[in-house]
């Protein structure tokens, strides 16, 4: 199935959402493909590899209704990243990079119900995803969006694009200051 969108799986920043991600079988294959591209292009420079590997991880999103699946999916995705990262940079691999990837996976793989657009638990809340956009090389811009807003047209502001077709403006619920990609987990400073 991923071969049908091969070009997108090889774009490091192309975003994927699996609304019933389970333990991550689909998402792990996407990450494997993206990290192959990162390794081919940037393995000779650790900082570049880290930057683009973090970007690859930040472009993968998932929702699952079972909490065990969410934890397993995060664990599998992190394991794929960490195995490749450690293999390439052995003793120079940075714990800060690992921490950033763990934090992003916590934000991007959500315990929730994609049909109700809410988290699962005692106090369900709207599912919120973080968008991670690279700015000026090593900086990331984080903007949080409510999932229902992203998928339901009725909540989006309508404009018209150059072809005179409807286009939508997504309104973030929160924006964060630019952060170095290795510092995104420093939430107390955001």
Cα–Cα distance measured from residue 112 to residue 146, given in angstroms and rounded to the nearest whole number: 12
Tokens of 83: 């195995």
Backbone angles phi, psi at 159, to 5 degrees: -130, -175
The 3-state DSSP class for residue 45 equals: coil
Q: C-alpha angle 109/114/117, rounded to 5°?
A: 100
* Dihedral (Cα; 57, 60, 64, 68), 10-degree rounding: -10
Cα–Cα distance measured from residue 12 to residue 91, given in angstroms and rounded to the nearest whole number: 25
Output the pTM of the full model. 0.87
Q: Which residues, in sequence order, are CB contacts of 124 under 8 Å at separation 6+?
A: 116, 118
Residue 166 pLDDT > 90, yes or no?
A: no
Segments in the chain forming alpha helices (H): 6-9, 25-42, 46-58, 67-89, 95-108, 147-151
The pLDDT assigned to 55 comes to: 97
The pLDDT assigned to 132 comes to: 96
The pLDDT assigned to 150 comes to: 60
Pairing assessment for the beta strands 128-135 and 174-175 based on DSSP bridges:
unpaired
Residue 168 pLDDT > 50, yes or no?
A: no
Q: Which of 38-42, 150-154, 169-173 has the lowest mean pLDDT?
A: 150-154
Query: pLDDT tens digits for 61-108?
Result: 999 999 999 999 999 999 999 999 999 999 999 999 999 999 999 999
The pLDDT assigned to 148 comes to: 79
């Amino acid at each position: 199935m991923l071969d049908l969108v091969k070009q997108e799986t090889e774009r490091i920043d192309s975003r994927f959402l699996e609304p019933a991600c389970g333990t991550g079988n689909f998402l792990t294959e996407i990450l494997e493909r993206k990290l192959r591209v990162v390794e081919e292009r940037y393995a000779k420079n650790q900082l570049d590899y880290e930057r683009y590997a973090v970007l690859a991880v930040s472009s993968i999103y998932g929702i699952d209704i079972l909490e065990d699946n969410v934890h397993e999916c995060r664990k599998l995705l992190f394991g794929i990243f960490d195995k490749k990262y450690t293999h390439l940079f052995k003793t120079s691999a940075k714990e800060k990079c690992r921490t950033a990837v763990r934090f992003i996976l916590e934000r991007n793989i959500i315990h929730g119900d994609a049909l109700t657009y809410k988290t699962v638990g005692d106090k369900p809340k709207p599912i919120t995803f973080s968008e991670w956009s690279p700015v000026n090389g090593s900086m990331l811009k984080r903007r949080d969006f409510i999932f229902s807003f992203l998928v339901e047209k009725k909540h989006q502001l309508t404009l018209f694009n150059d072809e005179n077709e409807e286009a939508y403006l997504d309104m973030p619920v929160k924006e964060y200051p630019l952060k170095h990609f290795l510092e995104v987990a420093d939430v107390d400073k955001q």
